[in-house]
Structure 1
Amino acid sequence: MTATVSLFSVRGYSSFLFGRILNSVAIWVDFTLIFSILSFHYQVDPSGLGLSAALYGLPGLLLGPFVGALADKKSPALIMIVSAFVRFVTSMGLAFSANETIFIVWVFLKGMGNLGAIPAEQVLIRRLLSNEQIISTVALTSVLDQCTKILSPLLGVGFSVALHSRGGFGFTGGLALLSMGCAIGVAGVVGWGSAAGGSQRRYPDFALVRRVISESPSFAFALGLALASSMVLGLYDSIVVVLLREHGLPDSSFGTIVSCTALGAIGCAVVLKKLLARACEATSLSVFVGGFSGSVVAAGLLALTLPSLGLGMLCMLWLINGFCYGGGMMVYGIALQKEVPADALGVVSTSVRSLQLAALVIGPIIGSWIAQYVGVEVTFIAAGALGLAIVAWALLRRTRKMRCANRSIGPAA
Structure 2
Amino acid sequence: MSMCEERYGSGSVSHRYTANKEQQFEKRLLQHSTYFAIRKFFLSAFLPHGYPDSVSSDYLAYQIWDTVQAFCSSITGTLATHAVLKGAGVGDGSASVLAATMTWLLRDGTGMVGRIVFAWLKGSSLDCDAKKWRLFADILNDIAICLDLVAPLLPSYFVAIVCVSSISKSIVGVAGGSTRAALTQHQAKQNNMADVSAKDGNQETLVNLTALLVGLVMMPSVAGNLLLTWILFVCFTGLHLFANFKAVSSVVMSTLNTSRLQIVVNHYLETGEIGSPEYVNQQESVFLGWPRIGSINIGVPFGSVVASVADLNSLLHSNSNDKFILNIKRSSIRVTLHVDAVDQDIIQCCYQAAVVRAILCGVNATANSRTNATAADLLQKMKLLMKSDGGHLSSSDALKLVHLSHKYTQVASDEFLHLLSTRGWIFSPSLLGADEWRCSWSRAGVKVD
TM range (shorter): 0.3 to 0.5
Return the structure number with greater helix share. Answer: 1
Structure with bigger gyration radius: 2
TM-score relative to the length of structure 1: 0.40
TM-score relative to the length of structure 2: 0.38
* Structure with higher RCO (Cα < 8 A, 6+ apart): 1
